[in-house]
A and B are shown apart, each in its own frame.
Chain A
Amino acid sequence: MSTNQIGKPTNRVDGRAKVTGEAKYAAEFHVPDLAHGVVVNSAIAKGKIKKIDTSKAMAVEGVFKVITHENRKDYACYDKDFKDMDAPPGSPFRPLYNGNILFNMQPVALVVAETLELARYAATLVEVAYEEEAHETDFEANRGEAYVPEKYNSTTPPKPWGNPEEALAKADVKVEVEYAHPTEHHNPMEMHATVAVWEENGKLTVYDKIQGVENTLQYITSSFGLPKEKVHVLSPFVGGAFGSGLRPQYQSFLAVLAALELKRPVRVMLTRPQMFSFGHRPRTTQRFALGASKDGKLEALIQDVFAETSTFEDYSEDVVIWPGLLYKCDNMKFSHKLVALDEYTPLDMRAPGGTTGIFALESAVDELAYKLGMDPLVFRLKNYTDKDQNNDLPFSSKELRACYIQGAEKFGWEQRSKEPRSMRNGHQLVGWGVAHGAWEAQQAKASAKAVLTTDGKLTISSATADIGTGTYTVMTQIAAETLGLPLEDVTFKLGDTSLPFAPLEGGSKTVSTVGSAVKKVCEKIGEKLLRLAQQQANSPLKDAELKDVTFTDGRLHLKSDTAKAVSFKEIMQLGQREQLEEEVSSKPSEEQKKFARFAHSVAFVEVKVDEDLGAIQVSRIVTAIAGGRIINPKTAKSQIMGAAVWGIGVALEEESVMDNNYGRFMNHDLEKYHVPVNADVHDIDVIFVEEQDTIVNALGAKGLGEIGIVSIAPAIVNAVFHATGKRIRHLPIKLDKLL
Chain B
Amino acid sequence: MKDKLEKEKEAAQPRALPPKQTVTLTINGTERQLELEPWVSLLDMLREQLHLTGTKVGCNHGQCGACTILLDGKRINSCLTLAVMHDGAEITTIEGLAKDGELHPVQQGFIVHDAFQCGYCTPGQICSVVGLVSEGKARTLDDIRDLMSGNICRCGAYNNIVKVVQEELERSKAQ
Contact = CB atoms under 8 A, between A and B. Distances in A.
Contacts of B44: 116-117
B140 to A, nearest CB: 12
A669 B39 CA distance: 22
B111 A681 contact: no
B112 A11 contact: yes
B123 A21 contact: yes
B166 interface: no
Nearest to A10: B114
B48 A670 contact: no
B119 A678 contact: no
A611 B15 CA distance: 59
Interface in A468-505: 468-470
A646 interface: yes
A18 interface: yes
Contacts of A56: 10-11
B76 interface: no
Contact of A21 (B39, B54, B112, B118): B54
B21 interface: no
A25 B60 CA distance: 17
B121 A189 contact: yes
A190 B120 contact: yes
B44, B108, B142, B154 — most chain A CB neighbours (10 Å): B154
A115 B40 CA distance: 10
Given A189-B66, A644-B156, A671 B103 contact: no
A654 to B, nearest CB: 11
Contact of A679 (B51, B108, B145): B145
B63 interface: yes
B53 interface: yes
Given A638-B157, A675-B154, A189 B148 contact: no
Interface string A490-534: 000000000000000000000000000000000000000000000
B100 interface: no
Interface residues of A, number: 68
A469 B117 contact: yes
Interface in B94-109: 94-95, 97-98, 103, 107-108
Interface in B41-89: 44, 47-48, 51-61, 63-64, 66
A642 B121 CA distance: 14
Given A117-B37, A679-B149, A24 B111 contact: no
Interface residues of B, number: 67
A179 B155 CA distance: 27
Interface in B114-145: 114, 116-123, 126, 142, 144-145
A642 B155 contact: yes
A678 B158 contact: yes
B58 A272 contact: yes
Contacts of B117: 240, 468-470, 635, 638-639, 642
A604 interface: no
A25 B120 contact: yes
B156 A189 contact: no
A116 B14 CA distance: 18
Contacts of B48: 115-116
Contacts of B112: 11
B150 to A, nearest CB: 8
Given A23-B119, A117-B37, A238-B118, A187 B154 contact: yes
B162 interface: yes
A47 interface: no
B23 interface: no
Interface of A: 11-12, 14-25, 27-28, 30, 55-56, 59-62, 115-118, 121, 187-191, 237-242, 269, 271-272, 467-470, 634-635, 637-639, 641-646, 669-671, 675-679, 681, 683-684
Interface of B: 10-15, 17, 37, 39-40, 44, 47-48, 51-61, 63-64, 66, 93-95, 97-98, 103, 107-108, 110-112, 114, 116-123, 126, 142, 144-146, 148-162
29 contacts: A11-B111, A12-B114, A15-B116, A18-B122, A19-B110, A19-B116, A19-B119, A20-B54, A20-B107, A23-B119, A25-B56, A27-B53, A27-B57, A56-B10, A61-B14, A239-B120, A467-B118, A468-B116, A468-B117, A468-B119, A642-B155, A644-B156, A670-B152, A677-B158, A678-B158, A678-B162, A679-B146, A681-B158, A681-B159
A-B complex: 3 closest residue pairs judged by Cβ atoms: A21-B54, A645-B156, A239-B120
